[in-house]
Amino acid sequence: MQLFYSNNITIDNTGSLQTTESLHCIRVLRHKTGDMIYVTDGKGNLFHAQITDDKPGECKFQIISQHTGSGKRNYYNHIAIAPTKNIDRMEWFVEKAVEIGIDEISFLKCRYSERKHINIDRITRIAESAMKQSLNTYLPKINELSDYSNFITHNQSKAKCIAICSETPVSYLTDIITAKEQSLVLIGPEGDFSNEEIQLALSHQYKPVSLGHNRLRTETAGIVTCQILASLNY
């Protein structure tokens, strides 16, 4: 099944594909007026639609039927991560996290962060592509790079954890997070969070957790966290 994404679906069950999607649908896949396609709005809905206008720059369609799938989720998984110096590794993380299943991704500017800027538009396009490729109908919320201290003080969740590299034993993430709840996990840069950043998180009721015995790269830690959260809600 070929899946298209549209954030332009109206209450009268019509919609259109954005320019890149339209060009791929009409020019590459050679769809034309009257053809049936599958479209998602990124909110868990899958639409079976018929093309009504095969204009390459703005393919329009009429929704014939709608399938909600699992409907509204009764959990919410949020990962906040410090982007790596090599942006390819962070783009890989976003792609795989979306394929596995994640509701929100935030980027943190930490004391030891090596990257201070990200192209949020490119990251969003990668997320959209991964959603379609994996036939996932949920598009996660992608947030701009945020200062660590500001993020800590303004983000709340039922289960809040900070993954740290510690010589002192701490609980495993699997011992803290339970199924069907709102969870937020912080993943630090390659140099880990600073002591001040850890203490700030703890003062805001974040629980320190371990992801296992091995020391992981930032993007690997993000994927492991994503898989743990997704597995709890399968």
pLDDT at 170: 87
Same domain, 52 and 103: no
pLDDT at 72: 64
Q: Hey, what are 195's tokens?
A: 């002591």
**Residues ≥6 apart with Cβ < 8 Å to 206:** 152, 160, 161, 162, 186
Helix and strand numbers, DSSP H then E, in the chain: 7, 12
Which of 42, 67, 92 finishes a domain? 67
Total structural domains within the chain: 2
The range of the structural domain enclosing residue 45 comes to 3-67
Distance CA 163, CA 150 (A): 18
Q: Tell me if 45 sits within 8 A of 4, measured CB to CB.
A: no
pLDDT at 77: 95
Q: What's this model's pTM, rounded to 2 decimal places?
A: 0.92
Same domain, 112 and 92: yes
Same domain, 106 and 140: yes
Same domain, 203 and 225: yes
pLDDT at 87: 95
The one-digit pLDDT tens for each residue of the chain (234 residues) are 899 999 999 999 999 999 999 999 999 999 999 999 999 999 999 999 999 999 999 999 999 999 876 556 788 999 999 999 999 999 999 999 999 999 999 999 999 998 989 999 999 999 999 999 999 999 999 999 999 999 998 888 889 999 998 777 789 999 999 889 999 999 999 889 999 999 999 999 999 999 988 889 999 999 999 999 999 987
Same domain, 60 and 104: no
Same domain, 84 and 59: no
pLDDT tens digit sequence for 170-224: 899 999 998 899 999 999 998 899 999 999 999 999 999 999 888 899 999 999 9
Same domain, 191 and 228: yes
